[in-house]
């Protein structure tokens, strides 16, 4: 557990950075007093609806989906919620990654903290205790159509709270009740509406979006670093990155990407050595890098806006409107905003890898590299050098072309036509997660190839920023002299893109990149 101060949940101000801190870095999260007060007020309204009113309230004293017209006796309202979890926990496939499950637990607790779901304080606190003590529900990743939120995944997430389902504790998969007992917790008995409050929402889609966005932002900066190394190695021109050029097409992402590369090229002896060469202009993968990288960055800004709103949104049904003293059926659970954003996330990072692979091709192809040895090896024939890593990058980029077909334009009716339009946001999220991993590996290949390539210009040195990048890469991957398997090197550099360590090494030298 991180030693940092616990993040206080209010339902109103959770950030993407907070989600990463809890889900990946192990920071704690707790309910604030403000949240408890809001939750108690909402709970009082639910209690009145469940026990003091004959009015039909969806999910409180009625069935679910097509069974909305079925009345449920007051004495069975708790049993209704338990059976809701059991019936909806029918997901299939491999589990979500651990960090996605932790993020979803945090987001579900934050939604409850907002005070529009009507769950008891004790229920949210048990969820946070599970997160804190390392009870990780086993949640199959397939089964959500992203309409009434992520129903099946959230049901699997919630079952351990009532002592059912399955969870991991210290890496061991055990029944939910045993998982609680191992960490000194006891299951809770659900009361009116609480099962619905736990499963009706967009938290898995939002979890993938928040964590994916952090990875994508790091990847965008890593792509700028890789581009700078390639420009150095290919003796490209720095003029395409000048701010005067970007000012004539003032897109923020383009300006930021160009500024990053220009800063990384500053002070380069390699660039200076060919300042007066007779090359007129570079290939698009170098010259148009600000425009392509920048467009991806601008698309990520849209993703950031949507996901940041969703982290603090009330996506339950019905929603508890305390000031109006109403429980209102609504459609805030529909995942269409996130489905679009997750498809956009995949497309944005895919293009970073696509143009990166083209730069790798120029680095390894002696017909394009302006003097670099074929496949960046000095003993070609006996050695293949970076021949096959370029194949790998091409394979990943091609796979992304299929994965980037949008899921968000699809729909299939469910629940006997009651839920007749769905978002497929979970499918968009699963695809985006895979595309991110592919892109991190593809850009890692360019970083490795770029580090190898600039060394052929010795004794001329690249700029301090590129030197810092090369040094960070060399900590993970020694220079390729005689052929060896580069699979571990690619994985290590991809992980360093993901955790931000390569970016941190470069920023320690040149300052924070845009």
Annotated catalytic residues are: 58
Q: What is the DSSP string of 366-428?
A: TTTSSSPPGGG-SSBTTB-TTHHHHHHHHHHHHHHHHHTS-STT----BGGGTB-----HHHH
> Count of alpha carbons within 13 Å of 80, Cβ hemisphere only?
24
Q: How far apart are CA 257 and CA 223, in angstroms?
A: 9
Q: How far apart are CA 409 and CA 424, in angstroms?
A: 8
Question: Which residues are bridge partners to 30 per DSSP?
Answer: 8
Which strands, in side-by-side order, build the sheet including 166-169? 135-137, 166-169, 172-175
Cis peptide before 486 (omega within 30 of 0): no
Environment class of 74 (CB within 10 Å of its CB; exposed 0-12, middle 13-18, buried 19+): middle
Alpha helices in 166-202 (DSSP H): 176-182, 194-199
Q: What is the DSSP string of 226-242?
A: HHHHHHHHTT--SGGG-
**CA 32 vs CA 45, 99, 108: distances in Å:** 21, 23, 15
First to last CA, the chain: 30
What number of H helices and E strands is found in the chain? 20, 9
Cis peptide before 459 (omega within 30 of 0): yes
Closest CA to 336 of 432, 426, 416: 426
Number of residues that make up the chain? 514
Q: How far apart are CA 182 and CA 55, in angstroms?
A: 42
């Amino acid at each position: 557990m991180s030693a940092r101060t616990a993040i206080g949940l209010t339902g109103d101000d959770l950030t993407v950075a907070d989600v990463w801190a809890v889900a990946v870095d192990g920071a704690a999260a707790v309910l604030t007093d403000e949240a408890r007060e809001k939750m108690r007020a909402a709970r009082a309204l639910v209690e009145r609806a469940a026990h003091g009113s004959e009015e039909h309230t969806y999910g409180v004293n009625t069935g679910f989906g097509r069974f909305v017209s079925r009345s449920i006796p007051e004495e069975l309202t708790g049993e209704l919620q338990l059976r809701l979890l059991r019936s909806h926990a029918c997901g299939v496939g491999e589990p979500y990654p651990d960090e996605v499950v932790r993020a979803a637990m945090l987001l579900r607790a934050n939604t409850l903290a907002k005070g529009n779901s009507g769950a008891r304080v004790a229920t949210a606190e048990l969820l946070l205790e599970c997160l804190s003590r390392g009870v990780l529900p086993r949640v199959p990743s397939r089964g959500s159509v992203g309409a009434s939120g992520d129903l099946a995944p959230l049901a699997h997430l919630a079952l351990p709270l009532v002592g059912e389902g399955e969870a991991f504790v210290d890496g061991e998969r055990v029944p939910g009740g045993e998982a609680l007992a191992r960490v000194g917790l006891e299951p809770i008995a659900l009361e009116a509406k609480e099962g619905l409050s736990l499963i009706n929402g967009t938290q898995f889609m939002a979890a993938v979006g928040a964590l994916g966005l952090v990875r994508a932002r790091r990847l965008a900066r890593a792509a700028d670093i890789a581009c700078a190394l390639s420009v150095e190695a290919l003796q490209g021109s720095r003029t395409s990155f000048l701010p005067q050029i970007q000012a004539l097409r003032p897109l923020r992402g383009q300006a930021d990407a160009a500024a990053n590369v220009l800063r990384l090229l500053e002070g380069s002896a390699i660039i200076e050595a060919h300042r007066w060469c007779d090359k007129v202009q570079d290939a698009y993968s170098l010259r148009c890098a600000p425009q392509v990288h920048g467009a991806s960055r601008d698309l990520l800004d849209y993703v950031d806006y949507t996901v940041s709103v969703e982290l603090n949104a009330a996506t339950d049904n019905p929603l508890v409107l305390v000031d109006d003293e109403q429980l209102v059926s609504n459609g805030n659970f529909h995942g269409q905003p996130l489905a679009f954003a997750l498809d956009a996330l995949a497309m944005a990072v895919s293009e970073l890898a696509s143009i990166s692979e083209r730069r790798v091709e120029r680095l390894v192809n002696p017909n394009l590299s302006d003097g670099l040895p074929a496949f960046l090896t000095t003993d070609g024939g006996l050695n293949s050098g970076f021949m096959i890593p370029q194949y790998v990058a091409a394979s990943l980029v091609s796979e992304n072309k299929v994965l980037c077909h949008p899921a968000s334009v699809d729909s299939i009716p469910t629940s006997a036509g009651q839920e007749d339009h769905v978002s497929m946001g979970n499918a968009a999220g699963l695809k985006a997660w895979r595309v991110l991993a592919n892109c991190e590996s593809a850009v890692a290949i360019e970083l490795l190839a770029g580090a190898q390539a600039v060394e052929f210009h010795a004794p001329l040195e690249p700029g301090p920023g590129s030197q810092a990048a090369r040094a960070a890469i060399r900590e993970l991957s020694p220079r390729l002299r005689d052929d060896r398997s580069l699979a571990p090197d690619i994985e290590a550099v991809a992980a360093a893109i993901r955790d931000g360590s390569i970016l941190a090494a470069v920023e320690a030298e040149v300052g924070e990149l845009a």
